[in-house]
Amino acid sequence: MVSGLMMTLEMTPKINGMVRRTLFNQIRQSLMIHTQVEEEIFYPAVRNLVFGGEGSKIDEAYREHQTMKDILNHMATMDAVSDEFDGKLAELKKTIQHHVNEEEKDMFPLATYRMSTERLEEIGQKMHDRKINLKTQMAA
């Protein structure tokens, strides 16, 4: 969903500042919820599976989340039609792509290999429920 919103934001002309701001706010909310859920549920579960140096991948994921949050918070203070905003959007997109690639290459295979199907489903359900809870909290 976020990649679609980002693509739409990139294609939205600068003359549509309000639309650009709305799209950014949707991206920001989705990413903030996603990172919080991963940090609360998925990363601790994966950390319990790792040995020695493998934990550094999880530490890196937390750092990447913080980088994304920092970029999002900076962008929230910027004019959505500025060139600086577009530059930060490109930086955010690059950071997200790197993060997703790392998760798909390292963490997801680790979880799949070392967790039972039941445990994976349990974690997935917890993450889903927590996302709904956070969306409800934000809407209130």
Between 45 and 56, where is the model more confident? 45
pLDDT of residue 54: 67
Find the DSSP H helices in the chain. 2-11, 17-37, 43-47, 55-76, 83-102, 108-114, 117-139
Using CA atoms, how far residue 72 sits from 32, 39, 82, 85, 131, in Å, is 9, 17, 15, 10, 19
Domain of residue 81, residue span: 2-139
pLDDT of residue 53: 67
pLDDT single digits (tens) 46-93 = 988 877 666 788 999 999 999 999 999 999 999 999 999 999 999 999
pTM recorded for the entire structure: 0.91
Per the CB < 8 A criterion, the answer to whether 98 and 64 are in contact is: yes
- In terms of Cβ atoms closer than 10 Å to its own Cβ (0-12, 13-18, 19+), residue 59 is exposed
Per the CB < 8 A criterion, the answer to whether 46 and 110 are in contact is: yes
Number of domains in the chain: 1
pLDDT of residue 1: 86
CATH number of the domain bearing residue 56: 1.20.120
Longest dimension (CA), the chain: 52
What is the average pLDDT value for the chain, to the nearest integer?
A: 93
Per the CB < 8 A criterion, the answer to whether 111 and 120 are in contact is: yes
pLDDT of residue 50: 79
Between 96 and 49, where is the model more confident? 96
Q: Is the pLDDT of residue 114 over 80?
A: yes
